[in-house]
Chains A and B, each alone.
Chain A
Amino acid sequence: MFAAQISTQTAIVILVLFGLAWVSFGWWLGRRNRTVDDFMLAGRNVGLALASATAMATWVTSNTTLVAPQLTYQFGVWGMVGYSMAALGLILFAPMAKRIKALMPKGFTCGDFIRVRYGRGAWYVFLVVSFCYAMGWLISLGMAGGILLHSLSGLDYHVGMTVILAICVGYTLLGGLKAVIATDFIQTLIILCGVLFIGYVCWQDVGLTRIYETVSQEQPQLLNLLFPAAIMFLFNNIFFGIGEIFHSNVWWSRAFAFREGIGKKAYLISGLLWLPIPIVTGFIALAAPALNIYPPSPDMVGPLVAAKLLGSVGAVFVFIVVFSALASSLDSLLAATSDLLTEDIYRGILKPGASNEHLFKVGKWVILGLGLLTWVLCLPRMTTLGELLNFTGAFVASTIWPIVFGLYRPRLGGLYAGLAMLLGTLLGLIAFVQIGFYVAALTSCLVSLVVCLFGLALYNEEFNWERLQRMEK
């Protein structure tokens, strides 16, 4: 047991109370879901406040509350700043959300777009990329749940991970996207207040001078602005964040679900609100040596510092904040990945004639299956959260350019879009293994751009945008 923790019993009580609250809320919200549109896209009628909150809460995740402190602890100032630059993904996606809604008013998933725009070859590559990323993120969230509970209460990693997964699967299953968005709104309020409060206490109790002096004495490289690995990491993280948002059905499904004219504003507001959060969560990691905290694993540094600062009562508060952050992402990802599998794999490949009523039922089974698969893959705690997430960077960054050109330019063909994603991912993974996790996304994005530019130069046919309006099969 570490110095500042809550008791295992308290942790279990909070888990049970939160679990019951979220699952009941999910059931209450989902009781009127009748169609696949209701379940998958919340009736396509989400307003600005809920839209901004869900986008922000989904992006505040284990990444922000556990990995931002980890990367600050490992890469110092650049780790903190680089992480906050992931907000650029939301900001740059804002105009694209408007375009997506205009091009595909009846669209369901990002897979629909790739299939109609680029054809089946590129679509298959995209589905593999997207599924690998979604599983990586799901596993990281499940792991984060276990790590959080273990850090704060000493509860066994496997028990914590299992309970958090079960709760999120429960309410997503009962309420669909409507429940995800509504719980996200409440979770956003908890996260914002919590993170600001912890940052304030850290600044007041430890103080900038003490933090600076201890870090410069014990971890001097963290304050070095010419820290080579951190410099490499900066743009890598930016492209990772942009790739995550541009390609993932989590963000596309929201673009479809938001009311007409809302998407652009909502993504812009959420990006600007999100920007300072990793700075705050990262900053507290720099206080670790001043508080004599030396974590067993780098992804535990955030909760350990926060718990020490706030004492055992405060640890309960930290627990609730991080739990909210985890749940808000886990539910979104479960819902969006289930949509992708149901709509693209099941209806697109396995059963093209499936009715909407049938898909409604299949969607629920897919959420359950995804939850189970995530649980199995989380059992062996394979790596740290930061490394796992950055591994998926090689996949997602390869999709940035094919999606940008695909949305705005009619000339890029499916062959080149597919090759851009395939070669980008492969070379990104090679860079991941040969150099380090902090160059995978950058390499992948660069290779993908080069292939797309070749494609634009060599391919002469023009895509007819009306095919997207009609959602051709």
Chain B
Amino acid sequence: MAPKSPFYFNNVAKMLLVCAFLVQSPFVIGAPAENLIASAQKVSEGFITLSWKDLGDGSVTLQVGRDREFDQVMRSLQLTGQDQVHLSGFEDGVYFARLLSDTGASLSNTVRFDVEHRSLRSASLLFSIGAALFGSLVVTLFRFTRSDS
């Protein structure tokens, strides 16, 4: 069998590199780039920061919905000159977000984030401890100040 020419190895190496790039790259043909990022996947305070890149300073529409198909759009925000937005006040639930152009074309991937607030029981416990501690401080200071004067 004749030895392979250097040209042959060169082409194989190039093909392998292209394959590796296609596997690694988020820019898969037919799907929008992975350019929309959520600051967290699980949120327990009801607020989140969504950021994006490579979209310039133009206007974009950020849609937030309750399902991946965006049949139920909860918020549709026109944003200009921003590359991130901080949203707050979400109730418990699963949310999806994506970016659209002015013409409605998709500009980003869809991100999912889950909002699950902390339990009211543990919050009430901390509230009660705080109230008791504050009451003790006020009473202590009042008594000390009275005895001082």
Contacts and interface: CB of A to CB of B under 8 A. Distances in A.
Q: Do A and B bind each other?
A: yes
Interface of A: 1-3, 73-76, 92, 95-96, 99, 215, 218-222, 224, 226-229, 231-232, 234-236, 238-239, 242, 292, 294-298, 301, 400-401, 404, 407-409, 436, 439, 442, 445-446, 449
Interface of B: 44-47, 49, 57, 62, 74-75, 77-91, 117-120, 122-124, 126-127, 129-131, 133-134, 136-138, 140-141, 144-145, 147-148
B136 A222 contact: no
B89 A76 contact: yes
Contacts of B134: 235, 238-239
A95 B141 contact: yes
B144 A235 contact: no
Given A1-B81, A95-B145, A234 B88 contact: no
Given A1-B57, A219-B90, A239-B130, 17 more contacts: A3-B80, A99-B148, A215-B89, A220-B89, A221-B46, A221-B89, A228-B118, A228-B122, A231-B124, A232-B123, A239-B133, A294-B77, A294-B86, A295-B85, A296-B83, A298-B86, A442-B133
A52 B148 CA distance: 23
Contact of B79 (A74, A234, A294, A400): A294
Contacts of B144: 404, 407-409
A242 B137 contact: yes
Contacts of B77: 292, 294
Contacts of B137: 92, 242, 400-401, 404
Contact of A446 (B57, B62, B75, B129): B129
Contacts of A218: 74-75, 89
A215 B46 CA distance: 14
**Which 9 residue pairs across A and B have the least CB separation, nearest first?**
A219-B89, A235-B130, A228-B123, A408-B144, A229-B45, A95-B145, A228-B118, A222-B89, A231-B123
A215 B122 CA distance: 26
Nearest to B77: A294
27 contacts: A1-B57, A75-B45, A95-B141, A95-B145, A215-B89, A227-B117, A228-B117, A228-B120, A229-B118, A231-B124, A232-B126, A234-B130, A235-B127, A235-B130, A235-B131, A238-B134, A239-B130, A294-B82, A294-B85, A296-B83, A297-B86, A400-B137, A404-B137, A404-B140, A404-B141, A408-B145, A442-B129
Given A295-B85, A404-B137, A449-B136, A74 B47 contact: yes
Contact of B84 (A2, A296, A407): A296
Contact of A294 (B87, B133, B138): B87
A295 B130 contact: no
B123 A220 contact: no
Nearest to A216: B89
